[in-house]
Amino acid sequence: MRCPFCGGPDTQVKDSRPSEDSSAIRRRRVCPDCGGRFTTFERVQLRELVVLKRSGKRVPFDRDKLQRSIDVALRKRTVDPERVERLVSGITRRLESGGEGEVTSEAIGEAVMEGLKGLDDVAYVRFASVYKNFREAQDFQDLLGTLGGRLEGEASLPEAEPAAPVPADDEVAPRRRRPARKQA
Protein backbone atom coordinates (compact mmCIF):
# COMPACT_ATOMS: atom_id res chain seq x y z
CA MET A 1 0.00 0.00 0.00
CA ARG A 2 1.43 3.34 -1.03
CA CYS A 3 1.77 6.02 1.68
CA PRO A 4 -0.72 8.88 1.14
CA PHE A 5 1.68 11.37 2.76
CA CYS A 6 5.05 10.79 1.10
CA GLY A 7 4.15 8.30 -1.65
CA GLY A 8 6.47 5.63 -0.23
CA PRO A 9 5.83 2.25 -1.90
CA ASP A 10 5.84 0.04 1.22
CA THR A 11 3.85 0.52 4.41
CA GLN A 12 3.63 -1.76 7.40
CA VAL A 13 0.42 -3.06 8.96
CA LYS A 14 0.45 -2.34 12.71
CA ASP A 15 -3.07 -3.49 13.63
CA SER A 16 -5.87 -5.43 11.88
CA ARG A 17 -9.39 -6.00 13.11
CA PRO A 18 -12.88 -6.44 11.64
CA SER A 19 -15.00 -3.32 11.20
CA GLU A 20 -18.08 -2.75 13.39
CA ASP A 21 -20.42 -4.62 11.04
CA SER A 22 -17.78 -7.23 10.05
CA SER A 23 -18.14 -6.31 6.38
CA ALA A 24 -14.53 -5.13 6.12
CA ILE A 25 -11.09 -5.46 7.69
CA ARG A 26 -9.76 -2.27 9.27
CA ARG A 27 -5.97 -1.96 9.08
CA ARG A 28 -3.80 0.65 10.84
CA ARG A 29 -0.67 1.26 8.78
CA VAL A 30 2.57 3.16 9.27
CA CYS A 31 5.06 4.37 6.67
CA PRO A 32 8.69 3.50 7.52
CA ASP A 33 9.95 6.43 5.39
CA CYS A 34 8.00 9.37 6.87
CA GLY A 35 6.40 7.82 9.97
CA GLY A 36 2.88 8.74 8.78
CA ARG A 37 0.00 6.66 10.14
CA PHE A 38 -3.26 5.99 8.32
CA THR A 39 -6.18 3.55 8.21
CA THR A 40 -7.32 1.39 5.31
CA PHE A 41 -10.38 -0.82 4.89
CA GLU A 42 -10.33 -4.08 2.96
CA ARG A 43 -13.67 -5.32 1.61
CA VAL A 44 -14.77 -8.38 -0.31
CA GLN A 45 -15.64 -7.61 -3.91
CA LEU A 46 -17.76 -10.32 -5.49
CA ARG A 47 -17.37 -9.06 -9.04
CA GLU A 48 -16.31 -6.07 -11.07
CA LEU A 49 -19.40 -4.01 -11.77
CA VAL A 50 -19.82 -1.61 -14.65
CA VAL A 51 -22.45 1.14 -14.45
CA LEU A 52 -24.38 1.95 -17.61
CA LYS A 53 -25.20 5.67 -17.45
CA ARG A 54 -28.24 7.32 -19.03
CA SER A 55 -25.94 8.80 -21.68
CA GLY A 56 -24.87 5.29 -22.71
CA LYS A 57 -21.41 5.69 -21.20
CA ARG A 58 -19.99 2.79 -19.15
CA VAL A 59 -17.98 3.51 -16.00
CA PRO A 60 -16.68 1.25 -13.20
CA PHE A 61 -18.87 1.06 -10.10
CA ASP A 62 -17.50 3.23 -7.28
CA ARG A 63 -18.67 2.37 -3.76
CA ASP A 64 -17.23 5.66 -2.46
CA LYS A 65 -19.36 7.64 -4.91
CA LEU A 66 -22.43 5.79 -3.67
CA GLN A 67 -21.43 6.60 -0.06
CA ARG A 68 -20.89 10.29 -0.90
CA SER A 69 -24.27 10.66 -2.61
CA ILE A 70 -26.04 9.13 0.39
CA ASP A 71 -24.01 11.33 2.75
CA VAL A 72 -25.08 14.43 0.80
CA ALA A 73 -28.74 13.46 1.13
CA LEU A 74 -28.25 12.85 4.87
CA ARG A 75 -26.30 16.04 5.56
CA LYS A 76 -27.32 17.60 8.90
CA ARG A 77 -29.68 14.69 9.64
CA THR A 78 -29.28 12.68 12.83
CA VAL A 79 -28.90 9.18 11.43
CA ASP A 80 -26.59 6.63 13.04
CA PRO A 81 -23.48 6.20 10.82
CA GLU A 82 -23.68 2.43 11.35
CA ARG A 83 -27.12 2.37 9.71
CA VAL A 84 -25.75 4.37 6.77
CA GLU A 85 -22.84 1.92 6.40
CA ARG A 86 -25.28 -1.02 6.46
CA LEU A 87 -27.34 0.68 3.74
CA VAL A 88 -24.31 1.24 1.49
CA SER A 89 -23.02 -2.31 2.09
CA GLY A 90 -26.45 -3.78 1.44
CA ILE A 91 -26.90 -1.92 -1.85
CA THR A 92 -23.38 -2.88 -2.97
CA ARG A 93 -23.89 -6.53 -2.04
CA ARG A 94 -27.26 -6.64 -3.82
CA LEU A 95 -25.73 -5.18 -6.98
CA GLU A 96 -22.72 -7.50 -6.93
CA SER A 97 -24.77 -10.62 -6.30
CA GLY A 98 -27.38 -9.71 -8.92
CA GLY A 99 -25.78 -11.94 -11.55
CA GLU A 100 -25.11 -9.12 -13.99
CA GLY A 101 -21.71 -7.58 -14.60
CA GLU A 102 -23.41 -4.42 -15.81
CA VAL A 103 -25.96 -2.43 -13.81
CA THR A 104 -27.88 0.66 -14.88
CA SER A 105 -27.60 3.94 -13.00
CA GLU A 106 -31.40 3.86 -12.71
CA ALA A 107 -31.23 0.58 -10.78
CA ILE A 108 -28.70 2.09 -8.39
CA GLY A 109 -30.80 5.24 -7.94
CA GLU A 110 -33.94 3.22 -7.23
CA ALA A 111 -32.07 1.08 -4.69
CA VAL A 112 -30.78 4.21 -2.93
CA MET A 113 -34.25 5.78 -2.89
CA GLU A 114 -35.74 2.58 -1.47
CA GLY A 115 -33.09 2.47 1.27
CA LEU A 116 -33.39 6.16 2.15
CA LYS A 117 -37.18 5.90 2.32
CA GLY A 118 -36.79 3.49 5.23
CA LEU A 119 -33.92 5.43 6.79
CA ASP A 120 -34.95 9.13 6.72
CA ASP A 121 -37.84 10.82 4.92
CA VAL A 122 -36.06 14.16 4.46
CA ALA A 123 -33.00 12.47 2.94
CA TYR A 124 -35.33 10.49 0.68
CA VAL A 125 -36.96 13.68 -0.62
CA ARG A 126 -33.55 15.37 -1.08
CA PHE A 127 -32.15 12.45 -3.06
CA ALA A 128 -35.32 12.00 -5.11
CA SER A 129 -35.39 15.69 -6.05
CA VAL A 130 -31.93 15.43 -7.59
CA TYR A 131 -32.28 11.89 -8.98
CA LYS A 132 -35.65 12.58 -10.62
CA ASN A 133 -34.53 16.06 -11.68
CA PHE A 134 -37.41 18.00 -10.12
CA ARG A 135 -38.18 21.21 -12.00
CA GLU A 136 -41.15 22.67 -10.13
CA ALA A 137 -42.89 22.63 -6.75
CA GLN A 138 -45.58 20.25 -8.05
CA ASP A 139 -42.91 17.52 -8.34
CA PHE A 140 -42.20 17.85 -4.61
CA GLN A 141 -45.89 17.91 -3.80
CA ASP A 142 -46.48 14.68 -5.75
CA LEU A 143 -43.59 12.93 -3.98
CA LEU A 144 -44.71 14.18 -0.57
CA GLY A 145 -48.21 12.91 -1.35
CA THR A 146 -46.83 9.38 -1.65
CA LEU A 147 -44.94 9.81 1.64
CA GLY A 148 -47.96 11.37 3.34
CA GLY A 149 -50.11 8.34 2.57
CA ARG A 150 -47.49 6.09 4.16
CA LEU A 151 -47.11 8.32 7.22
CA GLU A 152 -50.86 8.75 7.87
CA GLY A 153 -51.25 5.07 8.75
CA GLU A 154 -48.30 5.11 11.17
CA ALA A 155 -49.49 7.62 13.74
CA SER A 156 -52.35 10.02 14.13
CA LEU A 157 -52.00 13.32 15.87
CA PRO A 158 -54.00 13.76 19.08
CA GLU A 159 -57.03 15.97 18.77
CA ALA A 160 -56.42 19.56 19.74
CA GLU A 161 -57.94 20.68 23.02
CA PRO A 162 -60.28 23.66 22.88
CA ALA A 163 -58.47 26.93 23.37
CA ALA A 164 -58.73 28.63 26.75
CA PRO A 165 -60.82 31.82 26.78
CA VAL A 166 -58.81 34.99 26.27
CA PRO A 167 -58.86 37.20 29.41
CA ALA A 168 -60.11 40.75 29.23
CA ASP A 169 -57.52 43.57 29.32
CA ASP A 170 -58.16 44.35 33.00
CA GLU A 171 -57.61 40.68 33.95
CA VAL A 172 -54.11 40.44 32.46
CA ALA A 173 -51.34 40.71 35.04
CA PRO A 174 -48.46 43.01 34.16
CA ARG A 175 -45.28 41.26 33.00
CA ARG A 176 -42.26 41.25 35.24
CA ARG A 177 -39.12 42.61 33.71
CA ARG A 178 -35.99 40.53 33.67
CA PRO A 179 -32.93 42.09 35.27
CA ALA A 180 -30.47 43.50 32.76
CA ARG A 181 -27.60 41.24 31.80
CA LYS A 182 -24.15 42.11 32.93
CA GLN A 183 -21.81 42.73 30.06
CA ALA A 184 -18.35 41.25 30.25
- pLDDT at residue number 1: 84
List of the chain residues with pLDDT < 70 = 20-21, 23, 44-47, 148-184
- pLDDT at residue number 80: 87
- pLDDT at residue number 34: 93
pTM: 0.57
- pLDDT at residue number 149: 56
- pLDDT at residue number 153: 46
Residue 63 — left, alpha, or beta (φ > 0 → left; ψ -120 to 50 → alpha)? alpha
